[in-house]
Amino acid sequence: MYTIEMRNVTKIFPGIIANDNITLQLERGEIHALLGENGAGKSTLMSVLFGLYKPETGEIYKNGELVTITGPNDANTLGIGMVHQHFKLVHNFTVLENIVLGVESTKNGILQMQDARARVKALSEKYAFDIDIDAEIRHISVGMQQRVEILKMLYRNNEILIFDEPTAVLTPQEIEALMNTMRNMAAEGKSILFITHKLDEIKQVADRCSVLRKGKMIGTVKVSETSKEELSEMMVGRKVALSLDKNEAKKGAAILQVKNLQKSSGDGKPLKNISFDVFAGEILCIAGIEGNGQTDLVYALTGLSEVDSGQILMEGTELSKMKIRKRTEMGISHIPEDRHRHGLVLDYSLAYNTILQTYYTKEFQHRSFLRKDAIMAYARRLIDRFDIRSGQGEETPARSMSGGNQQKTILAREIDRNPKLLIAVQPTRGLDVGAIEYIHKQLLEQRDAGRAVLLVSLELEEVMNVSDRILVMYEGEIVADVDPKKVTFNELGLYMSGAKKDKVVA
């Protein structure tokens, strides 16, 4: 008998079968990983379990009994809780308020918080969460916020806990702590569904693993008896190279020199006296936890915002006061962090998106009229070269393309301009294994062609695999300049969380 069994679930959206006759069985006290690429149907399946979607066919059994779930309230009554990938926390409520929201106790209509406070405190101590329950959510770290989400489930006495990509936002140390918490909870008899696409984590913590691909259940395997290679093959449907083949970097001259960059305030932390060089033929990676000044640094380099003081030299030419178009013409390419905000005009076609920085050149414009034929031909060339897939070819609206193909479009545009410096900010965010592999290969190709590549990434895996040199940012400062071959994951984690700091002089 299973704690939760989803039997023959089929969910159809217009034009796509998101879940095709899926059966998922969760045992009591196990950590069960749910593995699959983006769009494989993991989220849909969990939404069905949560009652957010009504499946076309299929049943859900709890402890062998047929149950119907029509919404979060039903799920909660049945003891099913979920930590969503995007936390569902109210930013200006306290930790305690967020936990009790929805299950408040009242007396004569007035909220009674004392009991809740005591219970949350006890739970927090039991799992060594070390959390200030009167702090407002916006003042605590992402790792702490995740603990609030876990406390929410524990407070509701949930027995079936779903974690949707829980490690994406955490440092290695926080991931370690989370894994321990998950093990503890499983040991107490709670059942855990762990959605992820990171194979290492599955190997570390999961007992069994179910793999979804294109809406179909490929199979459920014992993790201890299955290798990472086998898992990834099940997920993607073909053999995938998990580690990149790369040659030694042939480091050339300094392309970009940043000297004493300062910026007092911005969206993130102020930039404090940042200096570094990027050389031709290397991939320099800026690692760090989100919000430690990476965004501001990239904005400063690409011209999206101004700096207070300091120099940015491109092959000796000062560009910190230059307009964005000038910088583009100097040979800077930028794959932005937020591809919808800074990368594409979503309502333009694929073709028009490929000429956003070059529309004014002779090639695409004649006496201020756009040369449509030339634009379309150019777009077709990029589509061929970069294997961009879309419904209506170059005429496809960018909005209707998949995330991977949107990113390929940006990549194609930026690389095809033959930049001297390619700045790629989280280029693989939200992409699946196949697309990630492709983008990494392209970055390496650029490096081998003698270009300077500046990669900003939050994914340690990516940082270690792709880069030739790593800078770590913490609170707007560069705190480490290390060689990926000589540094461990753990050390990087310590730098990223500010526990360790080098004096870095570029």
Partner 1 sequence: MLSFVMQHTMFFMIPLLIVALGGLFSERSGIVNIALEGKMIMGAFTGVLVILTFQETLPGQPILIIALITSMLVGVAISFFHAYASINLQANQIISGIAINMFAPAFAVYTARLLLGTHNMHFSNQFRIESVPHLGDIPIIGEMFFQNTYITTYLGFVILAIVYIVLYKTKFGLRLRACGEHPHAADSVGVSVTKMRYSGVLISGGLAGIGGLIWVIPISTVFSGSVAGFGFLALAVLIFGAWRPVRVMFAAFFFGLMQAISHSYSGIEFLRALELPAHFYRMTPFIATLIVLAFTSKNTVAPKAIGQPYDKGGR
Q: C-alpha angle with apex 322: 320 to 325, nearest 5 degrees?
A: 130
Candidates 109-117, 163-171, 201-209, 393-401; binding stretch for partner 1 (CB under 8 A): 109-117
Q: Does 203 bind partner 1 (CB under 8 A)?
A: no
Q: Does 238 bind partner 1 (CB under 8 A)?
A: no
Give CA–CA dist 442/70, Å, rounded: 46
Give CA–CA dist 383/400, Å, rounded: 16
Give CA–CA dist 455/427, Å, rounded: 8
Which of the residues 415 through 444 are near partner 1 (CB under 8 A)? none
Using CB under 8 A, pick the residue from 59, 66, 70, 104 that binds partner 1. 104
Q: Which residue, chain included where needed, has tokens 């294997």?
A: 387
Q: Kindly tell me which of 82 and 436 has the beta carbon lying closer to partner 1.
A: 82
Give CA–CA dist 304/325, Å, rounded: 11
Q: Does 88 bind partner 1 (CB under 8 A)?
A: yes
Using CB under 8 A, pick the residue from 20, 27, 38, 72 that binds partner 1. 72
- Least gap, CB of 113 to partner 1 (angstroms): 10
Give CA–CA dist 130/148, Å, rounded: 11
Task: Give the chain's radius of gyration (CA, Å).
Answer: 25
Candidates 54-62, 108-116, 175-183, 326-334; binding stretch for partner 1 (CB under 8 A): 108-116
Q: Kindly tell me which of 145 and 302 has the beta carbon lying closer to partner 1.
A: 145
Q: Does 101 bind partner 1 (CB under 8 A)?
A: yes
- Least gap, CB of 110 to partner 1 (angstroms): 5
- Least gap, CB of 278 to partner 1 (angstroms): 35
Cβ contact 454:278 at 8 Å: yes
Candidates 104-112, 311-319, 343-351, 494-502; binding stretch for partner 1 (CB under 8 A): 104-112
- Least gap, CB of 208 to partner 1 (angstroms): 27
Which of the residues 110 through 169 are near partner 1 (CB under 8 A)? 110-111, 152
Which three-class secondary structure string do you get for 148-216? Answer: HHHHHHHHCCCCEEEEECCCCCCCHHHHHHHHHHHHHHHHCCCEEEEEECCHHHHHHHCCEEEEEECCE
Candidates 71-79, 181-189, 228-236, 366-374; binding stretch for partner 1 (CB under 8 A): 71-79
For CA atoms 124, 177, 92, 46, give the dihedral sign. Answer: negative
* Distance set, CA 488 to CA 170, 261, 295, 491, 500 (Å): 17, 28, 25, 5, 13
Question: What character string, x for contact with partner 1 (CB under 8 A) and - otherwise, covers 311-350?
Answer: ----------------------------------------
Helix (H, G, I), strand (E, B) or coil at 318: strand
Binding residues for partner 1, per CB under 8 A? 52, 71-73, 76, 82, 84, 86-93, 97-98, 100-104, 106, 109-111, 152
